[in-house]
Amino acid sequence: MTDTYLRRATVDLEAYRANLTHLQRLVAPAELMAVVKADAYGHGATTLAAVAVDAGVRWLGTLELQNAHELRASGIGDGIALFAWQYSPHESFERAVSEKIDLGLSTLAQLERVALAVVSVADALAPDAVGGAAVDVPALVHLNVDTGLHRDGASADEWEALVTRAVELERAGLLRLRGVYSHLAEASDEEDTESAGLLAAAIERAEELGAAFEVRHLTASSAGMERPELRLDLVRMGSNTYGIPVTDGVSAADRGLVPVMTLTARIARVKRIAAGTGVSYDYTYRAPRDTTIALVPVGYADGVSRRAQNGVTVALRGKRYPIVGRVAMDQFLIDVGDDPVEVGDVVTLFGPGTAGELTVGEWADLVGTIGEEICTSVGARVPRAYVS
C-alpha cells in the first residue's frame, strides 16, 4: 500500500526505552519518576507509559488526575505509582483514592477534601465501618513545600499547620504520608542549594511534629543530571526521557540521550518562480534568483513557529533547505534552488540528527524557545506513528 500521509510525528519507542534505562542507572540509588504529563510531552502518554513500566520504571508523573485515571484505565495497575499534583479548586478525589493515585498536596483545603474523599470511598465499600477507618483505602499523600519557585507548595507560615493536620489524618487511618517534595527554580546553583536547605529544614520540622515520609524528591531533568547530591530518593524527569536537552549548549548526545520524536511531512506542491517573486503572506521573502520553491504542508497549527522563517532549515534528499516567507497555519515554503524535488518527497523538520536534520534542541534554539515547547506544540492533527 502506498503511504499517503501529509504530515507525521514518528515516536521511537526504543530510543525512549534506552533513555529511561540510561537515566535509571544515572540517578541510582534514587529512583526515576518518568513524567508523562501533557500527553507525554506530545509523544502519547498511554503508549509511552506502558514502555516505561516495561523498562522497570515504578513512578509516573501525570500532573492532572484525569491523566492518571486514563493510565489506570489503560491497564497500569496500582503497583505503579501515578503522581498528580495540579487540581481544580473543587476537585473530587474519590476516584483518585480508589485508584491509589499519589497526590501532591499544598494546602489545608486540599488535605481536607482528600480526607472527605477517603471517608466517602470507605463508606461506599463498607457502609458499616465506623468513619471508614476499618477499610484499607488511605490516600497516598505527598506534602509540597515552597522552597522558592513560588508556584505550588506550602509557604513557611503554612507548613506546620499542614503537617500537623496530615499527621492527625494519618493517625486516624485516612491517609499515608508517602512523600515530601519541592521543585527547584534552577536560576543558579547557589539558589538551588538554598532551596534544598529549605526543604531539609521543612522535613526536619515535620519529623518533629510526628511525620515520617517514605520518599523525598526535589530535582527534575536539569538538576537531576547536574546535582547528584540533590537527587534524594526520587528524581522527576520528563525532558531528558524524550531526549530533549535542558541545559544551554548541551545536546542530547552529550547527555547520552536520543531524541524520541521525528517530525516529517511530504512535499505537496513544487513551483518554479522568477527572481524577485514574493512568496507567502506579506512577501517577507523575495526570490534573489530564478529558483524552485516547494510547499511543505505543516504550519503553526501543527506547532511550527512563525519565527521559523528566520534561519530554520529542513532536511530533504540529504540536504538542508531554508524555510522562506511567512509560516502559515497549514504550510510553509522552502527554497530548493535548482535541485530536483518532487511532490511526495519527505521533508524532515527535526529528528535524532543522524541523517543531517536538525534536532529538536537545535530547532528550538533557532526559534528562541525550548525543545519541550516544540514537542508539546505538535498539533493533534499530526498523527503519531510508533516504531520500535
- What is the end-to-end Cα distance of the chain in Å, rounded? 21
pLDDT band at 1 (very low <50, low <70, confident <90, very high): very low
Decide if 256 is inside a domain: no
Bridging pattern class, strands 139-144 and 175-181: parallel
pLDDT tens, 53-66?
999 999 999 999 99
pLDDT band at 133 (very low <50, low <70, confident <90, very high): very low
The CA distance from 1 to 3, in Å, is 6
What percentage of the chain carries pLDDT values higher than 90?
90
Mean pLDDT check: name the lowest of 28-42, 118-132, 149-163, 324-338. 118-132
Task: Tell whether the model's pLDDT for residue 309 goes beyond 70.
Answer: yes
Domain of residue 122 covers: 13-242
Quick one: 294 and 224 in the same domain?
Answer: no
Task: Tell whether the model's pLDDT for residue 245 goes beyond 90.
Answer: no
pLDDT band at 249 (very low <50, low <70, confident <90, very high): confident
> Whose grid coordinates read 495540579?
86
Mean pLDDT over the full length of the chain: 94
Quick one: 216 and 161 in the same domain?
Answer: yes
Q: What is the pLDDT of residue 4?
A: 74
Quick one: 343 and 373 in the same domain?
Answer: yes
CATH of the domain at 214: 3.20.20.10
- The set of catalytic residues is 37, 281
Quick one: 214 and 81 in the same domain?
Answer: yes
Decide if 249 is inside a domain: no
What number of other Cβ atoms are within 10 A of residue 65's Cβ?
Answer: 22
Q: What is the pLDDT of residue 128?
A: 58
Q: What is the pLDDT of residue 124?
A: 86
What domain count does the chain have? 2
Q: What's the mean pLDDT in 150-167?
A: 96
Task: Tell whether the model's pLDDT for residue 131 goes beyond 70.
Answer: no
CATH of the domain at 323: 2.40.37.10
Q: What is the pLDDT of residue 248?
A: 78
Decide if 132 is inside a domain: yes
237 vs 126: which has the higher pLDDT: 237
Quick one: 266 and 237 in the same domain?
Answer: no
Decide if 6 is inside a domain: no
Quick one: 294 and 218 in the same domain?
Answer: no
CA distance readout (Å), 43 to 16, 187, 189, 376: 10, 28, 31, 8
Quick one: 172 and 318 in the same domain?
Answer: no
Q: How far is CA 316 from the centre of its chain?
A: 29
Decide if 276 is inside a domain: yes
Decide if 266 is inside a domain: yes
List, in order, residues 6 or more apart from 61 with CB less than 8 Å away. 33, 34, 35, 36, 37, 83, 236, 238
Alpha helices in the chain (DSSP H): 13-27, 37-41, 45-54, 65-73, 94-98, 108-125, 156-171, 189-208, 221-226, 360-367, 371-377
Decide if 247 is inside a domain: no
Q: What is the pLDDT of residue 126?
A: 72
**3-state DSSP assignment of residue 185:** coil
Bridging pattern class, strands 7-12 and 31-35: unpaired
Decide if 326 is inside a domain: yes
Bridging pattern class, strands 139-144 and 215-217: unpaired
Task: Tell whether the model's pLDDT for residue 132 goes beyond 70.
Answer: no
Q: What's the mean pLDDT in 227-231?
A: 96
Quick one: 294 and 355 in the same domain?
Answer: yes
CA distance readout (Å), 205 to 201, 356, 368: 6, 54, 42
Q: What's the mean pLDDT in 122-138?
A: 66
The CA distance from 42 to 375, in Å, is 6
Quick one: 212 and 271 in the same domain?
Answer: no
Q: What is the pLDDT of residue 136?
A: 72
Quick one: 41 and 179 in the same domain?
Answer: yes
Helices 65-73 and 45-54, interaxial angle, to 10°?
70
Is 241:23 a contact under the CB 8 Å cutoff? yes
Quick one: 122 and 57 in the same domain?
Answer: yes
Domain end call among 242, 276, 295: 242
What percentage of the chain carries pLDDT values higher than 70?
97
Quick one: 360 and 277 in the same domain?
Answer: yes
